[in-house]
Amino acid sequence: MTGQWTALGEPGGIEAYVHHPREGAVRGAVVVCSELYGVNAYVRATCAELAEAGYVAIAPDYYWRDARRTELGYSAAERESGLVLMRALDRDELVADAGAALAAARAEAGGRGVAFLGLSMGGHVAVRAATELRFELAAVFYPGWLLNSGFPLVGPVPPLETSERIAANGAFLLGFRGELDHIIPAEEWERAEQRLTEAEVPHEFVTYPAAHHGFACSDRPADYDPEAGADAWRRVYAALQTYL
């Protein structure tokens, strides 16, 4: 079965790209939160891979209020277009959209659990969602702005400032970063892990030597690190099996 766009609530509201497994029992559902490039070919391919492994994959269109079904490539010009859309995102609207995606995922999960999988900007969204919503796993690739603000989607209080809420909501947090990530300095990553430890959030943070931001995305050849990407995905699937 191929993926298709589906309304998550009332017509005219948020949509998501949804991909179902072809056959066999559903092993749970995964909300795939995209990079700033929208629900592009890379995100749709990620949904297809998750579905092949038995998970219903749901990729919300978080830009729907300003531009529907955005799918940008990785050129400098397209990145600027994505930044414009990202800067227009509002924290509370993101949480509402994440809640709609979670409700759809629960309905599709076949009685199993739900994970949020976040890619870059989407990693931030997944962590924010974990502070407000109850689900089983947040797996995040190079998530930004966990402890610093600066964009409306972050709001005045970065998500890990309220790490206790993640602990209360019960998600396991699995995070990945490249050693050479230009967006997430090592000091910030260490402080984020310390904050999670202090709040007693069950978590695992992994840093890959010599890897860059975007290391898991094969559509970004300048940054792609196949060895690091394969290891991170191995860990993601192991976590899905454990927590869903």
Q: Hey, where are the domains in the chain?
A: 4-243
118-165 tens-digit pLDDT:
999 999 999 999 999 999 999 999 999 999 987 899 999 999 999 999
Query: What would the 3-class secondary structure string for the chain be?
Result: CCCEEEECCCCCCCEEEEECCCCCCCCCEEEEECCCCECCHHHHHHHHHHHHCCCEEEEECCCCCCCCCCECCCCHHHHHHHHHHHHCCCHHHHHHHHHHHHHHHHHHCCCCCEEEEEECHHHHHHHHHHHHCCCCEEEEECCCCCCCCCCCCCCCCCHHHHHHHHHHHCCEEEEEEECCCCCCCHHHHHHHHHHHHHCCCCEEEEEECCCCCCCCCCCCCCCCCHHHHHHHHHHHHHHHHHHC
Residue 26 has pLDDT above 80, yes or no: yes
Q: What does pTM read for this prediction?
A: 0.97
- Angle, nearest 10°, between helix axes 121-132 and 91-108? 80
Section 65-69 average pLDDT: 96
Residues 6+ apart with CB under 8 A from 81: 72
**CATH class of the region 4-243:** alpha beta
pLDDT at position 24 is 81
192-235 tens-digit pLDDT:
999 999 999 999 999 999 999 999 999 999 999 999 999 999 99
Per-chain mean pLDDT for the chain: 96
pLDDT at position 1 is 67
